[in-house]
Structures are given as structure tokens and as C-alpha cells.
């Protein structure tokens, strides 16, 4: 089976919202290739450093929250 990297990237970006802290940082315990793709897309700063977290760009934060709510949010009960 071929992996859809776009779907993987969206899921990881959404999950980065789950560990968001200090305003714009998230734990980077994800696949390095995926983090590199998210960096190339402008959603995160360069993940290659000694820090255990990565910095999300303003667009990365916005898109991360959007994807998280879309994938993992529950509809409001009426």
C-alpha cells in the first residue's frame, strides 16, 4: 500500500496542536520526514536542532488548530 503523505502531514500538523505550549511550541516526537515536509510548507520552523519541541509559524498554529478540530473535535450537543 502506498502512503498518502498529504494525509500524514495533515494528521501530524493537527496533533501538534494537542501539545502546543508557550504560545507557539509543540513537542516534535513525530517522523522526521513529516516534520521536514511541514517545515518546507511553512507551518513550522526548522525542526533540526537540539530542542525537544518545534516552533509553529502563525499560519502553522492556525492550520494546526483547524485540522485538530476537524479530525478530533466533537459536534456540539443541542
Q: What is the pLDDT of residues 16-66, one digit of tens each?
A: 999 999 999 999 899 999 999 999 999 999 999 999 999 999 999 999 999
Reported as a pLDDT band with limits 50, 70 and 90, residue 74 is: confident
Domain assignment present for 57: yes
Please name the residues in contact with 74: beta carbons below 8 A apart, sequence gap of 6 or more.
none
Cα–Cα distances (Å) from 5 to 17, 34, 50, 59, in that order, read: 19, 8, 25, 20
Domain assignment present for 78: no
Please give the residue range of the domain that contains residue 34.
Answer: 5-72
CATH number of the domain bearing residue 63:
1.10.10
One DSSP character per residue, the chain reads ----HHHHHHHHHHHHHHT-BTTTEEE--S-HHHHHHHHHTTSB----SS-SEEEBPHHHHHHHHHHHHHHHPPPPP-
Q: In the block, which residue shows the cell 511541514?
A: 38
pTM for the model: 0.88
pLDDT recorded at residue 23: 92
Domain assignment present for 77: no
Amino acid at each position: 500500500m502506498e502512503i498518502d503523505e498529504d494525509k500524514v502531514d495533515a494528521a501530524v500538523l493537527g496533533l501538534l496542536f494537542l501539545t502546543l505550549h508557550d504560545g507557539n511550541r509543540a513537542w516534535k516526537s513525530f517522523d522526521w520526514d513529516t516534520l521536514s515536509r511541514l517545515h518546507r510548507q511553512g507551518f513550522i520552523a526548522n525542526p533540526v536542532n537540539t530542542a525537544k519541541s518545534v516552533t509553529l509559524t502563525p499560519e502553522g498554529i492556525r492550520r494546526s488548530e483547524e485540522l485538530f478540530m476537524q479530525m478530533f473535535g466533537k459536534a456540539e450537543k443541542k
